[in-house]
Structure 1
Amino acid sequence: MADPLRDGDPTRIGPYQLHARLGGGGMGRVFLGNSPGGRLVAVKVVRPELVDDADFRRRFADEVRAARKVGGFYTAHIVDADTDVDPPWMATAYISGPSLHQAVHQHGPLPPESVAVLGAGLAEALLAVHDQKLVHRDLKPDNVILAEDGPRLIDFGIARATDSPTYTAAQPVIGTIGFMSPEQACGSEVAPPSDVFALGCVLAFAATGRNPFGEGPIHAVLYRIVHEEPDLSALPEPLAGLVGACLAKDPDARPGLNRLLGDLATLVPSGRVHGEGRWLPEEVTEVITLRKTQVLEHVPPRELPGSEDAGTGLAVPRPRRPAVRTASAVMALLCLPTVLSVPFTIVQAITIGAMWDGELLLHTALCAIQAAVLAIGALLLLAQNTAGRWLIAIGGTGLALQAGILAGSLLFQSADLDNPAPLGVLVLTSLTAAASVLLALLPSAESRHRRAR
């Protein structure tokens, strides 16, 4: 998710104008930027406190060299870098989408078909890494970005060359607990099969939402990785068999990536292919679409590709807001006056005696409940939780019906039939109900449109 720049953040790195924060860690911060030609990039900048650390600068330069070597469809391509300036930085093509960790944490495990597509893409990415005589050594859910057209493997910060003179020397334990191989945990020689083990852990996490070696203190998890069998009881077959083979303790017993790629491809149903987000569950695809829109909100229109500018002279409109967000905005505008009309209508009904007290109390209570559901839905939608859309649809429809009943009773029982207020409330609540139904049906229509394309 993109956040505004903070005081002290750079606004330009090299030729790239920076617009927002994308994230960061102990080694550096990542910013959203755009090239002079308008292309969006992710710029990783080393933290100021590490600029004078010669060993860290050497490792960052190694990361850049490793990333430059690796190609393929399922890795984040580096487009520029400068490791000699202060602070050092590198820029990669911007990929819109949540990490695998974020997607599973917020929306639950992926279905088996999506896990198969994920595994095939990551296997192909690792093949590209290994073809350059590198070992990634840090494949984990946080280093996998879920894009519309497939997963992307990122972060080569601890990648190691297999042809390095120190490759077979004793190595410190480097990696992420829970996703490192037994040989990595023991500080032994780390070769391509170590990445295969990590791939098995990542696929198990994607399918179940938990690590196959459990949680707990570091020493306990490392012990289970080295000595105990993984818990794959929640994995369906044949996915469990493939993941189990990847998690063999003996590196030589693990399958090769080409074999894995073929086996995983057979698990992908026909029609479930990359492109237009069709490989992911609908709620994750909606997150990708929402993030695209949010990112563009941080970038001035003149700096987008094809915007009217001295460098292009062309005018291309910015991408339209997603239809779900537009419908939600319409829903909020209609529901606000509807909420305000309810107490007005109740007062009018009491004044003319249109309703007896018990019935009036019932309608008032129901209106309050529906208004609360509507408010909760609005808050969830603001927090990017797609469940909020359904609560808004339910609450808005219920509130409209309750207000409509009150207004109808007032209209037909009032002695002043020329009073336009009840009629206005009826029209308003009808529009609210229609917007609620539209908001509920819109995602299904969008899914059919994507499948048709």
Structure 2
Amino acid sequence: MQPLEAGEPRTIGAYRLLGRLGAGGMGRVYLARSEGGRTVAVKVVHPHFALDEQFRARFRREVEAARRVGGAWTAPVLDADPDAPVPWVATGFVAGPALGAAVAGHGPLPQHTVRTLGAGLAEALAAVHALGLVHRDVKPSNVLLTLDGPRLIDFGIARATDSTASLTTTGVSVGSPGYMAPEQIVGSGEVTGAADVFSLGAVLAYAATGTAPFPGDSSAALLYKVVHEEPELGALTGELRELVGGCLAKDPSARPAPAVLARRLAPAGAGASVAAGWLPGPLVEQVSRTAVRLLDLEPASGEDPLASGPVPFTSQALGVFGPPIDPVPATPPPMPTPPPRQAAAPADRKRGGRLSLSVTTRDESERPGGSRKVSCTVALAVAGVLAAVTVGAGVLLDLFPGGGGGPDDTAAQPPASSETGAPTDGGTGPAEVPKTFAGTWEGSITAAGLPAGTMKVTIEPGGRTGEQVGKAEQTDILGNFICEDLLTATSADARTLVVDARRGPRSKGMCSESTKGLRLELSGGTLRYVSADARAGNPVGDLTRGGR
């Protein structure tokens, strides 16, 4: 999460802003608290769209549709003002990773977890379809995992099936390649709730095997396979394979109804399966830490004169979308004091009962602020906003930077090293990078205590200090490639490889130019990724070889 910048509001409606989760082509999303202490996500649309009356009509209609969606397995729309100068919507904040990030970081889910996941999502779809709505974009990034069960989010492109007025452009498919139903792709007839069942089947196949049932290296290849080829279900066996295969039938009428699917996956109901414990241990720990850290967040101070009310069209912070850009003042200001590092939640920090998504503020001393640049390790995304309104092909906002790091992190004081990797003393030549670092390492990372997507680090064999030895590639929580860093070794020993990272040619516009003193630490079968960039939230994560 990034701090609020000058010109950004401190409140929107009745919600006090804690920070900015992210920005994208549709607008900005903020983490906020209600007067009663509930943590919410507030989305403010781009002022450009606010000038479009057709968009306002779409936004109003989709907010109304999302308000109708309720139940245990969705995130509620709590408040909205579609008629504000710049429309906004507030939804319940879900403290859990997206399914895509969970699988990328921890591997395929156990069968009982997949069955509970499928039962909860099927029950959610049954409730949605009963209202005459079709979600139209069920995919891993729109499924969040919490201690209290799965959540199906982002009804921004759901629409009433009984509507006579189309809110999407004729001939434009709404959905995500690889998870869209064949009838969505070819545009043959009306898209019904059966399309959501197909997408659910693809999601469950991905959760159980770690790979999509229709793999491909381009959108065209994915769409062709969905329409013309049978799914690849890998090691799926038994009844679960039968159920997933039934969901992925090409003929919509051959797919099971969501209620029937839910009963077969969890005869006693998804709630009973969740109550018995449904997530594997590593995910329980990740979700718990994220929820606990939310308690420590303080609302932004109200010093800014633009502290409240509707976001004005002239606000620079909301008129330009994309990565945060530090303003260039006429007189350079003094460097802000970096915020104090927080220790990761200790293992013995106990909280009774289940963690609630409605959390309250704790009194703590005010924490110093400061702008933050986006680096490869913090150009992050989250799917934790229910009503992210999308247009056309269902493009989602890039959201949710986050990640840990405490006083025990050795990145706080990186060892001195030369710019070129030449020896700093003693006259010895460049050191060879130990062979144990060579290979591809992958896993989830966090920054400032919040989920930050997936990092893949590739170290080439035979590298030496002073040379480029590999690269780091980041994928956001939505599964989108964000940044590439080229890594130059500055020091190396049997346990620790220290590198300087510079922006690679494949990086998107949101990535910064360089990061120094990034540490890669071997411990058993893991490679710990530790960034010393305090302004970026000290990103950190444990990577495993090959992502296993």
Q: Do these two structures clear the TM 0.5 threshold for a shared fold by scoring above it?
A: yes
Provide the rounded CA distance (Å) in 2 between the counterparts of 1:325 and 1:43: 33
Retained in 1: the 8 A contact 2:10–2:301? no
Provide the rounded CA distance (Å) in 1 between the counterparts of 2:233 and 2:301: 51
Q: Which residue is 1:332 aligned to?
A: 408
Residue 177 of structure 2 aligns to which amino acid in structure 1?
Answer: I
Q: Which residue is 1:47 aligned to?
A: 46
Residue 347 of structure 2 aligns to which amino acid in structure 1?
Answer: V
CA positional deviation for 1:209:
1.9
Q: Which residue is 1:416 aligned to?
A: none
Aligned pairs for 1:378-397 within 5 A: 379=530, 383-385=539-541
Provide the rounded CA distance (Å) in 2 between the counterparts of 1:15 and 1:186: 44
Q: Deviations over 1:235-258 (max 9, x none)?
A: 232211111000000000001111
Q: Which residue is 1:19 aligned to?
A: 18
By percentage of residues, which structure has more helix?
1
Provide the rounded CA distance (Å) in 2 between the counterparts of 1:329 and 1:380: 9
Q: Which residue is 2:212 aligned to?
A: 211
Q: Which residue is 2:82 aligned to?
A: 83
Are 1:174 and 2:174 an aligned pair? yes
Retained in 2: the 8 A contact 1:59–1:157? no
CA positional deviation for 1:291:
1.4
Provide the rounded CA distance (Å) in 1 between the counterparts of 2:405 and 2:105: 23
Retained in 2: the 8 A contact 1:41–1:94? yes
Q: Which moved more, 1:258-267 or 1:182-191?
A: 258-267
The structure-2 alpha-carbon separation of the partners of 1:243 and 1:330, relative to structure 1 and needing over 3 Å to count, comes to closer
Structure number with larger C-alpha Rg: 1
CA positional deviation for 1:296:
2.9
Q: Which moved more, 1:200-209 or 1:374-383?
A: 374-383
CA positional deviation for 1:203:
0.7
Q: Is the partner of 2:91 in helix, strand or coil?
A: strand
Q: Deviations over 1:142-180 (max 9, x none)?
A: 111111110111111111211112479965311111111
Are 1:323 and 2:346 an aligned pair? yes
Provide the rounded CA distance (Å) in 1 between the counterparts of 2:18 and 2:137: 29
Provide the rounded CA distance (Å) in 2 between the counterparts of 1:234 and 1:152: 26
Retained in 2: the 8 A contact 1:193–1:254? yes
Retained in 2: the 8 A contact 1:380–1:387? no
The structure-2 alpha-carbon separation of the partners of 1:183 and 1:301, relative to structure 1 and needing over 3 Å to count, comes to closer
Across the aligned residues of Structure 1 and Structure 2, the Cα RMSD in angstroms comes to 3.7
Q: Is the partner of 2:224 in helix, strand or coil?
A: helix
The structure-2 alpha-carbon separation of the partners of 1:180 and 1:209, relative to structure 1 and needing over 3 Å to count, comes to same
The structure-2 alpha-carbon separation of the partners of 1:6 and 1:204, relative to structure 1 and needing over 3 Å to count, comes to farther
Retained in 1: the 8 A contact 2:21–2:29? yes
CA positional deviation for 1:88:
0.6
CA positional deviation for 1:12:
1.3
Aligned pairs for 1:28-427 within 5 A: 28-166=27-165, 172-188=172-188, 189-266=190-267, 273-275=273-275, 278-300=277-299, 322-324=345-347, 332=408, 369=494, 373=522, 377=528, 379=530, 383-385=539-541
Retained in 1: the 8 A contact 2:181–2:198? yes
Retained in 1: the 8 A contact 2:233–2:241? yes
CA positional deviation for 1:74:
0.4
Q: Deviations over 1:193-223 (max 9, x none)?
A: 0110010011111112221111222222111
Q: Is the partner of 2:150 in helix, strand or coil?
A: strand
Residue 541 of structure 2 aligns to which amino acid in structure 1?
Answer: N
CA positional deviation for 1:56:
2.1
CA positional deviation for 1:302:
12
Q: Which residue is 1:317 aligned to?
A: none
Q: Is the partner of 1:274 in helix, strand or coil?
A: helix
Q: Number of paired residues?
A: 340
Retained in 2: the 8 A contact 1:204–1:212? yes
CA positional deviation for 1:110:
1.1
Q: Which moved more, 1:242-251 or 1:211-220?
A: 211-220
CA positional deviation for 1:17:
0.7
Provide the rounded CA distance (Å) in 2 between the counterparts of 1:21 and 1:329: 20
Retained in 2: the 8 A contact 1:20–1:298? no
Provide the rounded CA distance (Å) in 1 between the counterparts of 2:9 and 2:531: 33
Provide the rounded CA distance (Å) in 1 between the counterparts of 2:301 and 2:35: 11
CA positional deviation for 1:325:
8.7
Q: Which residue is 1:397 aligned to?
A: none
Retained in 2: the 8 A contact 1:44–1:91? yes
CA positional deviation for 1:185:
0.5
The structure-2 alpha-carbon separation of the partners of 1:224 and 1:35, relative to structure 1 and needing over 3 Å to count, comes to same
Q: Percent identity?
A: 47
CA positional deviation for 1:228:
1.1
Q: Deviations over 1:128-152 (max 9, x none)?
A: 1111110010111111111111011
Provide the rounded CA distance (Å) in 2 between the counterparts of 1:48 and 1:324: 45
Retained in 2: the 8 A contact 1:201–1:247? yes
Q: Which has the higher contact order (CA 8 A, sep 6+)?
A: 2
Retained in 1: the 8 A contact 2:42–2:89? yes
Q: Is the partner of 2:176 in helix, strand or coil?
A: coil
Q: Which moved more, 1:158-167 or 1:134-143?
A: 158-167
Normalising by the residue count of structure 1, what TM-score does the alignment of the two structures yield? Answer: 0.67
Q: Deviations over 1:362-402 (max 9, x none)?
A: xxxxxx746764796483996453569xxxxxxxxxxxxxx
By percentage of residues, which structure has more strand?
2
Provide the rounded CA distance (Å) in 2 between the counterparts of 1:65 and 1:58: 11
Provide the rounded CA distance (Å) in 2 between the counterparts of 1:284 and 1:140: 19
The unaligned stretches of length 5 or more in structure 1 are: 304-319, 340-367, 389-453
Q: Deviations over 1:275-325 (max 9, x none)?
A: 59x31121112221221233333325999xxxxxxxxxxxxxxxx973239
CA positional deviation for 1:125:
0.7
Retained in 2: the 8 A contact 1:136–1:156? yes
Provide the rounded CA distance (Å) in 1 between the counterparts of 2:255 and 2:24: 32
